[in-house]
Structure 1
Amino acid sequence: MTFRQFAFNNVLRNKRIYAAYFLSSLFSVFVFFVYAIFAFHPALKAVHPGVTVGLHFAEGIIYVFSFIFVLVSMSAFLHSRKKEFGLMVMLGMTNQQLRKMVFLENVLIGFAATVSGVGIGLVFAKLILMTAESVLELKESLPFYMPWEAIFLTFGAFLLLFVVISFFTVWILKGNKLIDLIKGSAVPKNEPKASVLLSILAALLLAVGYGIALTVKGDQVIYAMIPVTIIVIIGTYFLFTQLSVFIINRLKKQKMLFWKKTNLVLFSDLANRMKDNARTFFFVAIVSTVAFTAIGTLVGFRFMFTNSLLEERQFTIEYNSKYGNEQEAEHIQIIEDELEGLAYEKLPLHIRNVSIPSMAEDYAPLTGIISESEYNALAKAGRKDDVQVSLDGNEAVYLYYHNEMLDPKEVEETRIVNFSGKEINQTAAFGSTLVRSYDSYFIVDDAYYDNITDFELETFYAFQVGDWKATADLGESLLEKLGVSETNGFSEYFSYSNLGYDWYVTNQSFGAVLFIGMFIGVVFFVAAGSFLYFRLYADLEEEQKKFSMISKIGLTDKELSRILTIQLGLLFFIPIVIAVIHGAVALTALKNMFNYSMLHSSALVLGSFSLIQIVYFFFIRHNYIKKIKSYLAN
């Protein structure tokens, strides 16, 4: 048997330990390759050049994270195999041969993961492309193509990554002595101690960080973001390394709890395991927080922008013709021609702009007058229950455009306004987005309106269509026919907007961002779960021996399952619960920044990830208990 065959067989013999490492590496390669397929897709380049740049950026993030992930994983594997390496050295293997064997093993696993990741990506490429068409809401299809550029990029990048990681593992092994390798993880462990001062500091840092994040508002969130993040990260580190051990040691001193049933076995080495795995738990908590916050933010922004669009826009198509627009009749005819075959309602609102000298200091630009009947008809057709008005004689209602920049308290509810020698008695004022010309108006009695002279006429046309989402294509066509820009729909004499098309563009833009961010978040989350898997299985041999000795003094299968379930649950969910809390606080801070509730998106994201983690836990628990019991049965 050659040395290369020996290294290959060694990988097969340790397939239980290497399985999670191989699958996680394969997943990283797969996601990187999927991004590359989209980034190099000719159709996506033509339709969304900005998305391809984002995809390449996401690839860079995944690549850097994969490097850290693989390096830390390899360190855990080498630690679990120390005794095996020590026996090989005792049997005559030189240190150089040992390092060469580990190097070949890692390159072999890396090559297999790269080939498998690219292969699975090719198999599911068409399905993934079809899914992207739906998520991005593309009009053009994304046909399958042979992604040679993506294949070469993925192979080159990850083979280089695994070779570099292999050199790092050789360097890690270089300083180990034979006696350390032989002892492996069997060195007796002292009772872990926790600093009371650092434990209190952990609680204080987290409390201060949460307090600041939950109380700052508006732009203050931006200034508080970096210091709060640093405070919470430091607090989280001390939480796992000090506070958790302190709490466990305090619980062990409670005799009523410690000596109850199997709690003696449960708590006996829980502090040791928390201390040993503190860095892993810290890393898992931070990585999971990043995944929760990033995806929750993206989903929240999508909800925020699409809901804001619906709150502001009440009509499917809006056309505002300003004074001097000679194309008004022609444009309205074009819109009606495009709407032919659809059930729609046309609602014109004629605005008579007049001069109000007395308003020069307060509201000089707001000189529009609209009639009671046209306003009521428009309000009735809107998708909201807008206020209906009933006026008599010279009574008027002040209608101002409602936005976040205007404080309603600054608007006068009642006043007397004089124009053209006539007085208007303003009896009320209210804000609305019904007329989206971003100005404010006086609603007056029809008879009063008809007697107004010396004005500049502006006309607002609203077209209401039942299925407004179906007008996206029509809206894009009208942009071209009306000769306005796709970015704003404005010209010197008129403005035009279509709710269906704007909704489509907004969803498509955020769909692209979500598509990029979702995969990054999933990679982080899978990596976090994998780290927990690695740590649990790295200690499996030691746990098997411990429970083998305990079972000889009468530990039943039911008690064994209960102890392992509680212990695994604590080790598995503590970092995830901390990450959920961190993520919820971060999303609450974003809510305070934008003055928009992200409860729906937060619950959706955190709930989904929590559910996945619970399913993952039961899968790990089943296999872990099965391996412990299988060892005890032999």
Structure 2
Amino acid sequence: MIFFVYSMLAFHPQLDFSGQGNWGKGAQTSMDVSQYIIYIFTFFFILYSMSAFLKSRKKEFGIVMMLGMSVLQLRRLVFLENVVIGLASTIAGIGTGLLLSKGMLMLGTSVLALEQPLAFYWPVRAAWFTFAAFALLFVFISLFTAVILRSGTLIDLLKGSAKPKPEPKASAGLAILAAALLAAGYIAAFVVKGVVVIMALLPVALVVSVGTYFLFTQLSVYIIHKLKNRQSLYRSKTNMITLSDLAYRMKDNARMFFLVAIISTVAFCAIGTLVGLKSFLSGFVSASTAAMKYESYAGNKEQERHTALIERELTEAGIAYKPYVIRKKYALDEEKVRRFALIPATDYERLTGERATLGEREALLFYSENVNFGEETGPMPDSFPMRDGTVLDIRENAAMPASLAQITYADVLVVPDAAYEAQPASDDDSISYVYDVEDWPSTLAVAKRLMEQLQRNGEHHSFMARAYELNQLHQSFGQILLTGLFIGAVFFVAAGSFLYLRLYADLEHDRVQYRAITKLGLTEGELSKIVSTQIGLLFFVPIVVALIHGAVALNTLQNTFNANLVKESALVLGSFAAIQIVYFLIIRAGYVRKLKNVL
């Protein structure tokens, strides 16, 4: 179903960006690659699910072989069953995807920030592509499963999963190692900042992964043994049944828990990172881009015609605006390292509305807070030498306000008008024509027309508009976000399905066990409580671990970009947690009902 919905969006006639420059080709390629990722991951997931089904049917296979079925007939039976299940699920997935298609098109419109909503169409190509891809996949896996099917000895098949298991044991040393590795990974993730994060990424991920593996295989079993040793707790109510069975479940499911935790963490981090980056970049572009700005450089002969064109377009569109003209001259500091934009005090006062009371040899310095991977801005000078030999004292050091950040990326020196005029002209000098529009989102159509007429970066000028830049960002980033959402959804659904399959693989064993305990006086209420506790741990232990891993990773991302991504991280992690709770409630209700039916 997920593959079909994704294909429906990928093949949508309105979403063909391949002809829209390099970013369009890149976005189209990313969608194609994502389709292959979903398909490959689905292959391994279905292979796992089929092996889980076969393992739970050992006793059945033993009975039919005892009645005379040959190994070849058994393999043919398994092949045909898997093919029928595969074709039925493929058709059902396409049908369900069609029912959800309108909602998915609305989601695609929202994520991609499209001006026109995606129109509904009959996704014949997507349907045939999905059917052919998954029919081939199921036939191949069915053939592969049937060929490698091991019948085993008859006595082993008849016993199925009823063979007694040795009591699970845990090493105290490995349990302590698990806690130490996780603690070390988390501390490193919180401590490292800036570009060091990139270098620490692989070692921290490796340490946390190893720690997670030992958490499930050793630490969890070790904690359960410690709880069992507390007699007052162990012998209270139904805790004996819960804890005794829990140790076996944790040990049996340790590798699956580890896999689910890692897969879920990848899904959380991928989607959280994409959502957070989109929010961060949107905020950065909004803050650093004027509603509309025309930059005229030295030697521009079209300056008056272009500015008149901009004002005429805005007036004809009925958009109210306030024009500002800001002159800028550029100079380097004494070390020839840092570049400064010199702005006359009168232009600064007109743009910001703030008074700049300066002496003849005084200046105000505003430094830009650019994205610097969390590293602090270097020390600012106390004085600045002008080209004419005079030295200006820096009276104030402050972070650059948005109005100044929108006209230059360099640090700004506000100087007296006389000092500005005395500064010799150079080819780097420019004039910013800023058009302040309160309702700036309404300028998108005008900005697109002006962008075509002015050609964003001309020989001696450039043109920018906030609405246009955000629209370009949302469209290009939306493609990546959409693919990330679908890949994350596949990973998360697969993680939940691993848990579901493992739970139902133990159903027959649980039926026998609880039927026997019920004869000793276990009530239905106590049964529900025990099963709910065990299923709850089965479902939530790996997901809670993944949520903690994801929260730490997203916090590191936040420190790296020196941005506040708490809201976006909470939204992503909270959404996944809510889905898992609903999934648990549905599965738990069905499982308890199946157990009660045989009591």
Q: Same fold by TM-score, threshold 0.5 exceeded?
A: yes
> What per-residue deviation string (whole Å, max 9, x for no partner) do you get for residues 185-206 of structure 1?
1112221112233323322332
Runs of at least 5 residues in structure 2 that lack an aligned partner in the other structure: none
CA-CA distance at 1:614 after TM superposition? 1.1
**Alpha carbons of 1:407 and 1:215: their partners in 2 closer, same or farther (altered >3 Å)?**
closer
2:588 corresponding residue in structure 1: 621
**Alpha carbons of 1:254 and 1:443: their partners in 2 closer, same or farther (altered >3 Å)?**
same
Q: Is the 8 A contact 2:381 2:394 kept in 1?
A: no
- The amino acid across from 1:350 in the alignment is R
- The amino acid across from 2:208 in the alignment is V
**Inter-partner Cα distance in structure 1 for 2:323 and 2:277:** 33
- The amino acid across from 1:465 in the alignment is V
CA-CA distance at 1:450 after TM superposition? 9.0
2:499 corresponding residue in structure 1: 532
1:276 corresponding residue in structure 2: 252
1:70 corresponding residue in structure 2: 46
> What per-residue deviation string (whole Å, max 9, x for no partner) do you get for residues 268-316 of structure 1?
2111111112222122111111111111111111111111122323x30
**1:7-22 correspondence to structure 2 within 5 Å:** none
**Alpha carbons of 1:464 and 1:535: their partners in 2 closer, same or farther (altered >3 Å)?**
same
- The amino acid across from 1:99 in the alignment is R
- SS of the counterpart of 1:174? coil
**1:337-356 correspondence to structure 2 within 5 Å:** 337-340=312-315, 341-351=318-328, 353=329
**Alpha carbons of 1:619 and 1:394: their partners in 2 closer, same or farther (altered >3 Å)?**
same
- SS of the counterpart of 1:193? coil
Pick which of 95-104 and 455-464 moved more.
Answer: 455-464
Q: Is the 8 A contact 1:394 1:424 kept in 2?
A: yes
1:327 corresponding residue in structure 2: 302
**Inter-partner Cα distance in structure 2 for 1:258 and 1:290:** 37
**Alpha carbons of 1:192 and 1:471: their partners in 2 closer, same or farther (altered >3 Å)?**
same
**Alpha carbons of 1:492 and 1:437: their partners in 2 closer, same or farther (altered >3 Å)?**
farther
1:134 correspondence with 2:106? no
1:497 correspondence with 2:471? no
CA-CA distance at 1:452 after TM superposition? 4.7
1:18 corresponding residue in structure 2: none
Runs of at least 5 residues in structure 1 that lack an aligned partner in the other structure: 1-29, 381-386, 485-489
Pairwise CA RMSD of aligned residues? Answer: 2.6
1:235 correspondence with 2:208? no
**Inter-partner Cα distance in structure 1 for 2:30 and 2:469:** 22
CA-CA distance at 1:459 after TM superposition? 2.0
**Inter-partner Cα distance in structure 1 for 2:48 and 2:550:** 24
1:460 correspondence with 2:437? no
CA-CA distance at 1:422 after TM superposition? 6.0
**1:162-311 correspondence to structure 2 within 5 Å:** 162-311=138-287
1:375 corresponding residue in structure 2: 348
Q: Is the 8 A contact 1:469 1:503 kept in 2?
A: no
Pick which of 592-601 and 265-274 moved more.
Answer: 592-601
**Alpha carbons of 1:331 and 1:557: their partners in 2 closer, same or farther (altered >3 Å)?**
same
**Inter-partner Cα distance in structure 2 for 1:367 and 1:510:** 32
Q: Is the 8 A contact 1:51 1:512 kept in 2?
A: yes
- SS of the counterpart of 1:342? coil
**Inter-partner Cα distance in structure 1 for 2:181 and 2:424:** 68
TM-score by length of 1: 0.86
TM-score by length of 2: 0.91
- The amino acid across from 2:233 in the alignment is L
CA-CA distance at 1:127 after TM superposition? 4.4
- The amino acid across from 1:45 in the alignment is D
Q: 1:115 aligns with which of 79, 91, 97?
A: 91
CA-CA distance at 1:121 after TM superposition? 2.9
> What per-residue deviation string (whole Å, max 9, x for no partner) do you get for residues 35-69 of structure 1?
22233333322464433322211111111111111
1:160 corresponding residue in structure 2: 136
2:4 corresponding residue in structure 1: 33
1:510 corresponding residue in structure 2: 477
CA-CA distance at 1:93 after TM superposition? 1.6
Q: Is the 8 A contact 1:135 1:515 kept in 2?
A: yes
CA-CA distance at 1:631 after TM superposition? 2.1
Q: Is the 8 A contact 1:213 1:228 kept in 2?
A: yes
- SS of the counterpart of 1:368? strand
- The amino acid across from 2:314 in the alignment is L
**1:469-484 correspondence to structure 2 within 5 Å:** 469-484=441-456
1:602 corresponding residue in structure 2: 569
1:43 correspondence with 2:14? yes
Q: Is the 8 A contact 1:36 1:55 kept in 2?
A: no
**Alpha carbons of 1:240 and 1:376: their partners in 2 closer, same or farther (altered >3 Å)?**
same
**Inter-partner Cα distance in structure 1 for 2:131 and 2:25:** 24
Q: Is the 8 A contact 2:334 2:385 kept in 1?
A: no
**Inter-partner Cα distance in structure 2 for 1:141 and 1:216:** 43
1:550 corresponding residue in structure 2: 517
2:311 corresponding residue in structure 1: 336
- SS of the counterpart of 1:481? helix
**Inter-partner Cα distance in structure 2 for 1:232 and 1:426:** 49
- The amino acid across from 2:313 in the alignment is E
**Inter-partner Cα distance in structure 1 for 2:521 and 2:212:** 39
**Inter-partner Cα distance in structure 1 for 2:330 and 2:572:** 52
CA-CA distance at 1:455 after TM superposition? 4.4
1:585 corresponding residue in structure 2: 552
2:398 corresponding residue in structure 1: 430
**Alpha carbons of 1:421 and 1:169: their partners in 2 closer, same or farther (altered >3 Å)?**
closer
**Inter-partner Cα distance in structure 2 for 1:303 and 1:139:** 19
> What per-residue deviation string (whole Å, max 9, x for no partner) do you get for residues 2-58 of structure 1?
xxxxxxxxxxxxxxxxxxxxxxxxxxxx22222222333333224644333222111
Q: Is the 8 A contact 2:326 2:343 kept in 1?
A: no
- SS of the counterpart of 1:319? strand
**Alpha carbons of 1:241 and 1:231: their partners in 2 closer, same or farther (altered >3 Å)?**
same
> What per-residue deviation string (whole Å, max 9, x for no partner) do you get for residues 487-511 of structure 1?
xxx3332222101111111122222
- The amino acid across from 2:298 in the alignment is Y
Pick which of 492-501 and 138-147 moved more.
Answer: 138-147
**Inter-partner Cα distance in structure 1 for 2:409 and 2:98:** 51
- The amino acid across from 1:474 in the alignment is V
**Alpha carbons of 1:536 and 1:295: their partners in 2 closer, same or farther (altered >3 Å)?**
same
Q: Is the 8 A contact 2:341 2:408 kept in 1?
A: no
> What per-residue deviation string (whole Å, max 9, x for no partner) do you get for residues 380-426 of structure 1?
3xxxxxx642234554323454435696552223x374554766454
2:77 corresponding residue in structure 1: 101
CA-CA distance at 1:81 after TM superposition? 1.1
CA-CA distance at 1:70 after TM superposition? 0.8
Q: Is the 8 A contact 1:320 1:437 kept in 2?
A: no
**Inter-partner Cα distance in structure 1 for 2:542 and 2:128:** 38
1:19 corresponding residue in structure 2: none
CA-CA distance at 1:528 after TM superposition? 1.0
> What per-residue deviation string (whole Å, max 9, x for no partner) do you get for residues 589-612 of structure 1?
323333333322221111110111
1:6 corresponding residue in structure 2: none
- The amino acid across from 2:451 in the alignment is L
Q: Is the 8 A contact 1:86 1:178 kept in 2?
A: yes
- SS of the counterpart of 1:535? helix
Q: 1:82 aligns with which of 52, 58, 65?
A: 58
**Alpha carbons of 1:577 and 1:401: their partners in 2 closer, same or farther (altered >3 Å)?**
closer
**Inter-partner Cα distance in structure 1 for 2:55 and 2:331:** 83
